[in-house]
Amino acid sequence: MTISLSKNPEPLFPADILSTIQKDKLWRVAHTKSRREKALAHYLALAGIGYYLPMFSKQQSSDKRVRYSLIPVFNGYLFFRADDSERHKAIRSNHIANIIDVGDELTLMKELSQIQKTLSGNTKVYPYDFISKGQRVHVKKGPLKGVEGIIVRKDNNYRLVISVESIMQSISVSIDAELVEPFIS
């Protein structure tokens, strides 16, 4: 079912959740029941629990007009920050199948910030299968400057794949080859 764009949850709640560190609240990953990502986001916002639900715009086919929907980038996943009491409250929402505790919160925040930067740009993104092998690069110029990922050659274009390793999910974005250089750690 397609809902009005204005009725979609905010992707970030609060807006600065990816840039603030809270020692008393841990990042967690909610593996939601089928197609419940947005419902969980609404529930968490009403409960005052911070979350990140990355979404992208997708054109929906219709006989009479062009319609767009916001689709979660990582089907079945929502990232949230909560203490033990808020974690329990989230579970009681009846939208969660499982909660994944995050081992390396700094890495997760870095990966989610890269996803957010990519989604807020004017680039078209596509959900992509997780890639664990390939060349790691970082973008040296352009609107995605500083984003790190893996390059995959597809047809005559390059695709930059940005991954969130804790849930083994990725997105890809089309990028010119001259905008990237090998990642040196």
pLDDT, tens only, 173-184:
888 777 877 887
Percent share of the chain, pLDDT over 70: 91
pLDDT, tens only, 101-133:
998 999 999 999 999 999 998 788 877 656 545
- Note the residue count of the chain: 185
Give the chain's domain count: 2
- Examine the fold and report which residue of 41, 72, 102 is the final residue of a domain before the chain moves on: 102
* Same domain (yes/no): 75, 34: yes
**Long-range Cβ contacts of 152-160 (<8 Å, 24+ apart):** 159/128
Question: What CATH number corresponds to the domain at position 144?
Answer: 2.30.30
Domain of 162 in residue numbering reads as 104-185
- Examine the fold and report which residue of 57, 72, 102 is the final residue of a domain before the chain moves on: 102
Q: Are 165 and 150 in contact (CB under 8 A)?
A: no
* Same domain (yes/no): 46, 131: no
pTM exceeding the 0.75 threshold for the entire prediction: yes
Q: Are 137 and 79 in contact (CB under 8 A)?
A: no
* Same domain (yes/no): 71, 144: no
* Same domain (yes/no): 110, 97: no
* Same domain (yes/no): 115, 173: yes
